[in-house]
């Protein structure tokens, strides 16, 4: 029935794309209200049902489509989306831990994960213990009857050590502890967490999957439906929905993800090899090179490397000069996050990490190699390195 008044006709809820229309993109559905066909359908709703819609916060066809593709990327069965990578980390911790529980994180973990554990979670009576990233047996020794969750980052996103993921996953499983991997570095492609026995794979889609440096999003993938539903409960209780426009930006990046990763990888190898020959550099921390701690694990378990790696400068080069070198870069920007088309450089002060990492003898800079031509990046580095002398 067509309403009598223009006010009502302008609010028609009946729009659907006409039948012969086709396109190659996922439509963006904007919805807070999700409508039901009738009262019986409203009463029968369940936000746990994977195929139904109840409210815009929980799912729209756009966010479901992205969830399905991310589950596919990671080799899992169920995916949840969160408004940032950090929100995805928080959703896992808050979904699986309660007062009296303990959890383990590696000492090179993405710092906000550690800070969440040592501040808010600690105030809720949840204890976070740190284990040396490269020592799976040390992690196992910290497991006790209250331990519920073991976090792994492969590699650590600044100091770049590659851990023995299958061993950590097996130790956690033997002791009845859930294991969660931050798989952001690998782009979900160069490392397949579930094949290594992990329970949960988290990913900051902000980085490679979006590829645009313009959106924040995180994902949590599982294979076990009960585990998925426990984390989904936190997603629901905390209201961690994502907007359709943001989901679209990530969906737009996914078709080119593997092609981009391969370009980042090839260019990063060339830059890393160039850096390894410079007299100013003490060590290149690129997981694909033997100079990186844990390289043997990378070789055994990974399909490749992306664009992110770090270098340690010779001790004789003071940190101020390294900062001046970073300031002198013209094609590389200075900024956090990565995964987009622009190359980045960030100097890190890792004084604390030095106590357990004797190889961290000088200033450290993390490089992200974007999609510029490698020759241009090498020329930029060559001119900026003059600031070191």
Ligand X SMILES: Cc1ncc(COP(=O)(O)O)c(C=O)c1O
Q: Which stretches of the chain bind ligand X, using CB under 6 A? A: 84-86, 110, 157, 182, 184, 204, 206, 216, 218, 336-337
Q: How far is the CB of 72 from ligand X (least distance, A)?
A: 20
The answer to whether residues 84 and 210 touch, using CB atoms and an 8 Å cutoff, is no
Alpha-carbon gap, residue 114 to 104, rounded angstroms:
10
Taking the complex as a whole, the smallest distance from the CB of residue 152 to ligand X amounts, in Å, to 11
Return the number of the residue (317 or 350) whose C-beta is nearest ligand X: 350
Residue nearer to ligand X on the CB measure, 234 or 384: 234
> What is the closest distance, in whole angstroms, from the C-beta atom of residue 49 to ligand X in the complex?
28
Our CB check for ligand X shows the closer of 169 and 216 to be 216
Burial label for 261, CB within 10 Å (0-12, 13-18, 19+), is: buried
Between 207 and 283, CB nearer to ligand X: 207
Cβ distance to ligand X smaller for residue 140 or 344: 344
Of 344 and 384, which CB lies nearer to ligand X in the complex structure? 344
Least separation in angstroms between residue 387's CB and ligand X is 26
What residue number has its CB nearest to ligand X? 85
Q: Least distance (Å) from ligand X to the CB of residue 273?
A: 24
CB of 85 to ligand X, least distance (A): 2
């Amino acid at each position: 029935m067509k309403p009598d008044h223009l006010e009502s006709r302008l609010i028609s809820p009946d729009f659907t794309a006409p039948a012969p229309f086709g396109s190659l993109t996922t439509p963006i559905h904007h919805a807070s209200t999700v409508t039901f066909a009738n009262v019986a359908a409203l009463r029968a709703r369940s936000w746990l049902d994977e195929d139904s819609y109840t409210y815009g916060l929980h799912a729209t066809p756009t966010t479901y489509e992205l969830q399905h593709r991310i589950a596919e990327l990671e080799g899992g069965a169920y995916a949840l989306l969160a408004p940032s990578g950090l929100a995805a980390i928080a959703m896992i911790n808050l979904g699986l831990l309660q007062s009296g529980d303990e959890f383990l994180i590696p000492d090179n973990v993405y710092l906000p994960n550690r800070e969440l554990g040592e501040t808010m979670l600690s105030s809720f009576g949840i204890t976070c213990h740190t284990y040396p990233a490269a020592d799976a047996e040390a992690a196992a020794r910290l497991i006790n009857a209250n331990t519920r969750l073991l976090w792994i980052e492969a590699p650590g996103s600044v100091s770049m050590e590659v851990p023995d993921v299958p061993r950590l996953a097996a130790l956690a499983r033997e002791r009845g502890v859930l294991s969660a991997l931050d798989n952001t570095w690998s782009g979900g492609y160069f490392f397949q967490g579930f094949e290594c026995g992990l329970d949960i794979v988290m990913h900051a889609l902000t980085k490679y999957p979006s590829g645009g440096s313009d959106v924040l999003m995180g994902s949590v993938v599982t294979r076990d439906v009960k585990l998925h539903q426990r984390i989904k409960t936190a997603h629901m209780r905390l209201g961690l929905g994502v907007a359709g426009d943001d989901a679209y930006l990530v969906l737009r990046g996914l078709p080119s993800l593997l092609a981009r990763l391969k370009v980042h990888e090839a260019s990063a190898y060339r830059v890393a090899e160039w850096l390894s020959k410079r007299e100013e550099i003490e060590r290149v921390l690129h997981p694909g090179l033997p100079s990186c701690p844990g390289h043997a694990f990378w070789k055994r378990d990974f399909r490749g490397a992306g664009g992110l790696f770090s270098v340690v400068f010779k001790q004789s080069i003071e940190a101020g000069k390294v900062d001046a070198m970073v300031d002198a870069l013209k094609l590389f920007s200075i900024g956090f996050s990565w995964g987009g088309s622009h190359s980045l450089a960030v100097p890190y002060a890792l004084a604390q990490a030095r106590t357990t990492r004797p190889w961290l003898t000088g200033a450290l800079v993390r490089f992200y190699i974007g999609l510029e031509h490698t020759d241009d990046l090498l020329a930029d580095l060559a001119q900026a390195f003059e600031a070191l002398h």
